[in-house]
Amino acid sequence: MDKDLLSIKDINTQDINLLFQMASEFKQRRKRGEKIIHLLDGKSLGLLFEKPSTRTRISLEIAIRELGGNSLFLSSEQMQLKRGETLADAAKIFSLYLDALAVRTYKHENLLELAKNASIPVINALSDFSHPCQVLSDMFTIKEKIGKLEGVKLSYVGAGNNVCNSLIYGAAKMGINLMISSPKGYEPKPEILKDAQKINPKCKIETTDNPLEAVRNADVIYTDVWVSMGEEEEKEARTNAFKNFQVNEKLIKPAKKDVLIMHCLPAHRGEEITSEVLDGPNSIVLEQAENKLHAQKAILVLLLEK
Ligand code: CP
Ligand code: NVA
């Protein structure tokens, strides 16, 4: 592993597989009642968050606590960053007190700047570019359910956003067949698709603006909100553009009968997904959310145990 986890692009397939093994072990041990495992005794994780979070924040805080460490929530609103202290200066200060820093920010460049100037590992807890912890954990969930990732057909129905970008890199690293369907104007950036193709020239990552076609024979259908944090001003335009991209009973028909329905959450019920599908028998969204805890424990140990 590199010093930081900023994108799935930077982790090799071997480390991703190791992370899955560790996550599985943490999960089994927790289910057996072994909650506290002293691998990171006395380590402190800072969480510098510029945007709201429920799952990522709680799972990271509990993960470090159950590994023997502790966490400190740092709302960027209450830091001197708000009054003009530079990210580079703040990164050097964080490194004096903390053992790792998880960051949720608007601009991915902020993460790069923090990581460059911090001597401690920096973990991307979501930026406008990517959401690596989410997708590492999601791939662990798919592997648990289907038994493999290679050759699995995953249809992502939604915007070419941070979650989609991480799915693209995850697919390239793990051999998932990824079919992305987005309305025109909201597709993933061509340079990200090209980059993934360069990482794994054999990877099958395709795009279409026909969601019904995209989900044909899918093993997994994944969706995310139409309006991500920071895009609120585009709500009306996006809601119009995405109206035929709702994951509902009719849309999932062409998929395999036992298709897994995934959503990183929070969901906007009645927009990108209906309650019928989100709460339906094929939905694994709660296991997905639970697995963030186990996968992030593995991420913390891999980055901090060095
Ligand atoms: N999926 C996810 O990252 O959720 P939160 O925004 O609640 O952390
Ligand atoms: N794409 C969403 C993901 C939330 C977990 C957002 O950035 O708001």
Ligand 1 within 6 A of CB of 134:
yes
Q: What is the DSSP letter of 11?
A: S
Identity of the residue numbered 158: G
Residues facing residue 2 across a β-bridge: none
Containing 294, the helix (H) or strand (E) segment is helix 285-304
How many whole angstroms separate alpha carbon 121 and alpha carbon 98?
10
Does 134-288 match 8-131+292-304 at the fold level?
yes
Could you state, in order of their start, the residue ranges of all structural domains in the chain? Answer: 8-131+292-304, 134-288
Closest ligand by atom to 130 CA = 2
| Residue 291 beta carbon below 6 angstroms from any ligand 1 atom | no
Cβ of 229 below 6 Å from ligand 2: yes
> How confident is the model over 100-156, as pLDDT tens digits?
999 999 999 999 999 999 999 999 999 999 999 999 999 999 999 999 999 999 999
Q: What pLDDT score does 183 carry?
A: 98
Euclidean distance between CA atoms 85 and 230, whole angstroms: 23
Q: How far is the CA of 228 from the centre of ligand 2 (A)?
A: 5
Rounded to two decimals, what is the model's pTM?
A: 0.98
Average pLDDT over residues 36-60: 97
User: What distance in Å separates the CA atoms of residue 158 and residue 225, rounded to the nearest whole number?
Assistant: 7
Instruction: Name the superfamily (CATH) of residues 8-131+292-304.
Output: Aspartate/ornithine carbamoyltransferase (3.40.50.1370)
Superfamily (CATH H level) for 134-288:
Aspartate/ornithine carbamoyltransferase (3.40.50.1370)
| Nearest residue (CA) to ligand 2, atom 7 | 228
User: Quick check: 112 and 88 in contact, CB under 8 A?
Assistant: no
